[in-house]
């Protein structure tokens, strides 16, 4: 939501044409007539593309090496040129926005006689002045991230990226890293991460362990990916990888007109590293790095550290008291039967379940403050295969959840407890069959559901919660030479709900969109949200 006040608007880029692989650089100056601190800052970008032929393209906007926006583009058709708007709350990047910086907008696009879709775009920052009623403007600020704190913005931002572009990680050993000498009076530390799968890893959730890749005609490195966070070479946290599907993914007709969950605008995952504050406060340089476990070529990664400082003091003492982060060791279970002519039937499962804990304390002028962050990661990817001379059938049921419990308190204080949950499951059924006349039919059905919530306890009726469900089905037809003939049976839906209570005015947004034959067939709005009423948000 935007506050009900007039914003100061700063133009980052306007009416730029994206028709090649070059970035569009720009310079940024903070708004002189709207100095901080700000109640809210929102990045807004408007894009359009002419009708024609074009792939889905990766799009991102960096400022001062921090990612303000990261997503992909819709695909046009011969008769439809997409027009779309993206928004992201970047209030937590206010410290970065308080200083002039260079930036760049990039959409890697190829335009020639075959690929004719040209993309145009403009990007802006909307600044809203702080006022007595600005608490309501912060409600649900970090919706979709793991922290969701509200309150004042971080004191400083430290991007791990350089050159106003993502880091490109081709193998699990490669890292996006930066050596930083932090302030000596930090109290809280967070890391925002976006990890976008590309090329061989674009459909990582369909992959299988290397030993089975040839037999199952699939990509390798297994159907499991995870972001690894290290500080000075020691693993301190993990972050999940979202199963995003771009608008050209699997079957482009699935995503017309409704794209998949977060496809056009990725949501960063926020890692709470606050227990490390005392260790990072020591005035020595520290190297913070992220990598992708099972990276098979490749991932585009953006990451920024957000830190809070206690400016009453120059330095803060304390200690990191516990780091319990076991190594990743997913299990693989195969139940496959091979037959004549290369036929295969059976299942292949990869799963991971682990518990992590960080704990530490800092000594503030008003007393000792302890923080612990415990996380439970649950991942399972069950794949069933039927492969023979006329059929390639793959069914995927992926679950991907994180539960985080953060406890903070000092001597004589009641411990503040916050329970955050993140879930992004995927169900995908892909069936390619050769028909009696030699033609092929490829039927696909997909269900995605992103759900996230932050509250004082598991059953609290305050906090914020978000749920976004997208489903789609379609069938492609090809002749015996695999020339495209057409498609049929397209239908889909999106059910989106966001709710916030207890921190400013309550918010409720709920909409359902139904699609049929690649057109919107119905839209329903509801004025009551139920995500915080019980377990219905899961």
Tell me what the mean pLDDT of segment 519-528 comes to.
95
Q: Using 50, 70 and 90 to split pLDDT, how confident is the model at 526? A: very high
Min mean pLDDT across 115-124, 269-278, 348-357, 414-423 is at 414-423
Q: According to the model, what pLDDT value does residue 140 have?
A: 41
Q: According to the model, what pLDDT value does residue 534 have?
A: 59
Is pLDDT above 80 for 132? no
Task: Determine which helix (DSSP H) or strand (DSSP E) holds 278, and give its type and residue range.
Answer: helix 277-280
User: What secondary structure, in 3-state letters, does 435-484 show?
Assistant: CCCCCEEEEEEEEEEEEEEEECCCCCCCEEEEEEEEEEEEEEEECCCCCE
Is pLDDT above 60 for 147? no
Q: According to the model, what pLDDT value does residue 457 have?
A: 81
CB 320 within 8 A of CB 279: yes
Q: Using 50, 70 and 90 to split pLDDT, how confident is the model at 352? A: very high
**pLDDT single digits (tens) 446-502:** 999 999 999 988 777 789 999 999 999 999 999 999 999 999 999 999 999 999 998
Q: Using 50, 70 and 90 to split pLDDT, how confident is the model at 265? A: very high
**pLDDT single digits (tens) 278-308:** 999 999 999 999 999 999 999 999 999 999 9
Unique residue bearing structure tokens 């894009």: 47
Q: According to the model, what pLDDT value does residue 413 have?
A: 78
- Rounded distance between C-alpha atoms, residue 190 and residue 304, angstroms: 8
Tell me what the mean pLDDT of segment 347-354 comes to.
97
Q: Using 50, 70 and 90 to split pLDDT, how confident is the model at 428? A: very high
Q: According to the model, what pLDDT value does residue 151 have?
A: 59
- In a 13 Å sphere around the CA of 532, the CA atoms on its Cβ side amount to 26
């Amino acid at each position: 939501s935007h506050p009900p006040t007039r914003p100061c608007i700063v133009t980052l880029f306007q009416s730029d044409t994206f028709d090649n692989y070059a970035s569009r650089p720009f310079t940024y100056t903070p708004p002189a007539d709207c100095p901080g601190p700000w109640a809210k800052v929102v990045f807004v970008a408007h894009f359009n593309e002419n009708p024609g032929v074009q792939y889905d393209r990766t799009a991102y906007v960096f400022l001062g090496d921090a990612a303000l926006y990261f997503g992909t583009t819709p695909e046009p058709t011969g008769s439809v040129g997409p027009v779309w708007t993206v928004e992201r709350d970047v209030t937590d990047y206010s410290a970065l926005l308080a200083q002039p910086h260079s930036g760049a907008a990039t959409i890697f696009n190829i335009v020639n006689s075959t690929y004719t879709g040209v993309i145009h775009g403009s990007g802006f920052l909307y600044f809203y002045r702080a006022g007595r009623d600005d608490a309501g403007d912060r409600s649900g600020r970090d919706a979709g991230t793991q922290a969701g704190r509200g309150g004042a913005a971080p004191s400083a931002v430290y991007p791990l990226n350089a050159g106003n572009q993502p880091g490109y990680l081709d193998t699990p050993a490669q890292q996006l890293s930066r050596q930083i000498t932090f302030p000596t009076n930090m109290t809280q530390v967070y890391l925002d991460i976006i990890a976008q799968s590309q090329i061989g890893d674009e459909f990582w959730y369909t992959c299988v362990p290397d030993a089975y890749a040839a037999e199952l005609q699939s990509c390798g490195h297994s159907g499991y990916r995870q972001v690894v966070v290290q500080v000075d070479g020691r693993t301190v946290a993990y972050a999940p990888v979202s199963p995003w599907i771009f608008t050209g993914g699997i079957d482009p007709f699935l995503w017309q007109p409704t794209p998949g969950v977060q496809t056009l605008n990725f949501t960063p995952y926020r890692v709470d590293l606050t227990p490390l504050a005392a260790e990072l406060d020591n005035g020595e340089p520290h190297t913070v790095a992220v990598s992708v476990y099972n990276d098979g070529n490749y991932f585009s990664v953006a990451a920024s550290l957000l830190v809070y400082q206690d400016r009453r003091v120059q330095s803060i003492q304390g200690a990191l008291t516990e780091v319990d982060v076991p190594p990743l060791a997913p299990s693989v279970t195969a139940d496959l039967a091979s037959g004549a002519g290369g036929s295969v039937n059976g299942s292949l499962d990869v799963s991971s379940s682990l518990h992590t804990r960080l704990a530490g304390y800092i000594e503030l002028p008003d007393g000792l403050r302890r923080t612990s962050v415990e996380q439970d990661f649950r991942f399972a990817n069950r794949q069933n295969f039927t492969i023979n001379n006329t059929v390639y059938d793959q069914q995927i049921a992926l679950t991907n959840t994180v539960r985080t419990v953060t406890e903070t308190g000092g001597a004589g204080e009641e411990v503040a407890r916050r329970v955050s949950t993140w879930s992004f499951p995927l169900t995908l059924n892909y069936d390619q069959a050769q028909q009696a006349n030699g033609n092929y039919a490829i039927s696909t059905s997909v269900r995605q559901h992103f759900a996230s919530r932050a509250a004082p306890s598991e059953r609290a009726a305050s906090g914020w919660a978000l749920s976004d469900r997208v489903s789609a089905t379609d069938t492609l037809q090809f002749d015996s030479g695999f020339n495209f003939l057409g498609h049929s049976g397209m239908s889909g839906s999106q059910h989106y709900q966001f709710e916030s209570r207890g921190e400013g005015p309550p918010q409720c947004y709920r909409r359902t969109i139904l699609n049929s034959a690649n057109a919107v067939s119905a839209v329903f709005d509801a004025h009551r949200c139920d995500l915080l009423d019980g377990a219905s948000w899961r």
